[in-house]
Amino acid sequence: MWPTTTQIVIFSGESSALAATATAVASAAQGQPTLLASLTPTHDCAILLGASPAPQPATLASQLDFWTFQPLADLSATWNELRSRISLPGPPIDGDDLPLLPGLELFLAVYRLASHAQRGYQLICVDAGPPDSLLRALAVPDTFRWVMRQLFGLDRGPGQSTESLARAALPANLLPFEQIGQMQEARVQFEQLRDVALDPKRVRARLVIRPDQAGLRAATLYAPALTLFGLNLDALIIGPLLPVVSDGYELATLVLEQATVVAAVAARWPNLPLLRLPFQATPHEPAPFATIGKGLLHPPAPLPPPIGIGSQTEPWISLLLPGVAREDLTVSVSGDELIVSLGPYRRHLLLPVALRGAPIRAVREGDRLTIRRR
């Protein structure tokens, strides 16, 4: 789906628009064809740049294009394209009739973004807005799979499971075989679309952390949750940071707190680069972001997938959960599924066949949680 030379960085957090904009402008200033993409409803990137929303990629400066996802128009167009690839039973649903289900629009926006990547960009900076919205979007295919599993069982991969067929709520003979087959195939293709669109070799996330105690607490949930749902996290960004001031100034207390939080973030995630985002007034043009963005340019490096699966002879499943707090994490097994709960987020993962029904244990090894036979 993605061109082999294109790297995609998804920025998420309260100041994700500032971080994405600064990075994109600095990248373009170094001569890299760059696309800045806004997937949020308010398109804060456009406000920062003094630009109008762009339903199609539009040139803002040399080597820099800008695109804004339009939820209604793009959702309709993307859905109509997907209908030709995914066969759904029943009467066809037109894109203009599709409801804006929570998370669905952002998931389809990433799919739309992949088509724009064919224009030859070396870097695509994506403002995905708050992490909660991004995480809900990443969970959409899992939710669809869970519903299919409960109703009909899973009869084909990914997630194929003979055990779930036996526990299905509706016997297969209640619906024509062709319709069940179409629904199963739609579920498989939907999951595969997510996996291709978020290819860990090309796509990675950067979490923007607010430099106060509340921002630090939120990061302890969001950082491991992003990797739990399949996104590689290659750096943390903290900011916007106020300039250092002397004692006695009104902002001194805030500056002291942000210094404390910066140190705490560095200590909690020692294996992740920590990039600093300075405070910036709204310039309404691209040029001033070039200087800010230089400190945010972190060259993407190859990363292993955040979720690893062992072999048939040596079965295990390994989850990268950077900085996760023990009290936020719960792991359980239901049938042939591993259920990982992280604060308000939960993901169901199919256990490798060799681990199903066997006594298992979970061992934390640094930032990885590995489940093996007991």
Question: How many other CB atoms are found less than 10 A from the CB of residue 90?
Answer: 8
Q: Please write the tens of the pLDDT for every residue from 177-230.
A: 666 777 777 777 777 767 766 787 888 999 999 999 999 999 999 999 999 999
Residues 6 or more apart whose Cβ sits within 8 Å of residue 188? 156, 157, 158, 159
Whole-prediction pTM value?
A: 0.87
Please answer whether residues 83 and 53 qualify as being in contact, where contact means their C-beta atoms are separated by less than 8 angstroms. Answer: no
In the DSSP assignment, the letter for residue 89 is S
**pLDDT, position 236:** 98
Q: What percent of the chain has pLDDT over 70?
A: 84
Q: Please write the tens of the pLDDT for every residue from 278-299.
A: 988 888 899 999 999 999 998 8
Give the residue with greater pLDDT, 243 vs 67. 67
Q: Which two tokens stand for residue 35?
A: 């696309």
CA 82-128-47 angle, to 5 degrees, is: 115
Task: Read off the pLDDT of each residue in 300-327 and give the average, rounded to a whole number.
Answer: 90
Give the residue with greater pLDDT, 179 vs 58. 58
> Mean of the per-residue pLDDT values for the chain?
85
Give the residue with greater pLDDT, 232 vs 75. 232
- Strand-strand pairing, 345-350 and 317-320: unpaired
Separation CA 208–CA 229 (nearest Å): 18
Task: Read off the pLDDT of each residue in 138-151 and give the average, rounded to a whole number.
Answer: 78
pLDDT at residue 88 greater than cutoff 60? no
What backbone torsions phi and psi does residue 112 show, to the nearest 5 degrees? -65, -40
Residues 6 or more apart whose Cβ sits within 8 Å of residue 199? 1, 2
Give the torsion through C-alpha atoms of 49, 50, 54, 60, to 10 deg: -60
Give the residue with greater pLDDT, 72 vs 38. 38
In the DSSP assignment, the letter for residue 252 is H
